[in-house]
Amino acid sequence: MLSRIERGLVSPSVETLERLAQGLQVPISRFFSDQARRTDFCHVRAGHGVLVDRIGAVADYRYELLGHLLSGNLFVEPYLVTLLPGADPYVTFQHPGLKFLYFLSGQVSYRYGGRSLEVRAGDSLLFDATALHGIEAIPTHPVSYLSVVFTLRE
């Protein structure tokens, strides 16, 4: 049966695909993805990210771009954000997409819409970035976090 599938002589049933996926220990979705077209790869060595002046970014928020991909429908922006000593709270970030934050050091009060919560090293947040969000207070320095924004390309 496998040989006939490989040669395009038969179309396997969903049950057959499920058994093949289990035998190969891969998700069934692997049979439907176009792996040949997914060729982007980005490697950024420690300390060699690109420092970026982000439009609308507040003073003393340092953004280091950690990678980029040029193909596909999903646009991903991974940044290492470091709050420099003069950084002030800023709660009016708002943009399309989803945002993931992972706090590496320090402690902040983070506002998301009408909610405010204390966040420290090791904590993470995942949210719809169209709502107003940002750091409301900075009780402990230094503060650094990984920020990854996911948006669809138009």
CATH number at residue 57: 2.60.120.10
Determine the pLDDT at residue 36: 57
In degrees, to the nearest 5, what angle opens at C-alpha 56 toward C-alphas 52 and 59?
Answer: 70
pLDDT at 56 over 80: no
Q: Is residue 11 part of a domain?
A: yes
The pair phi, psi for residue 119, each rounded to 5°, is -130, 140
The answer to whether the pTM exceeds 0.75 is: no
**Whether residue 19 is found in the same domain as residue 54:** no
Q: What is the pLDDT of residues 10-47, one digit of tens each?
A: 888 888 888 888 888 878 877 776 655 556 778 888 88
Q: What is the pLDDT of residues 125-136, one digit of tens each?
A: 999 999 999 999
**Whether residue 69 is found in the same domain as residue 21:** no
Total number of domains in the chain:
2
Query: What is the mean pLDDT of the segment spanning 90-118?
Result: 96
Domain extent, residue 8, equals 2-33
User: How far apart are the C-alpha atoms of 114 and 139, rounded to whole Å?
Assistant: 20
**Whether residue 71 is found in the same domain as residue 14:** no
**Whether residue 19 is found in the same domain as residue 81:** no
Q: Is residue 42 part of a domain?
A: no
Q: What is the pLDDT of residues 39-49, one digit of tens each?
A: 677 888 888 88
Contact criterion met (CB below 8 Å) for 120 and 92: no
pLDDT at 89 over 90: yes
AA identity, residue 29: S
User: How far apart are the C-alpha atoms of 88 and 66, rounded to whole Å?
Assistant: 24
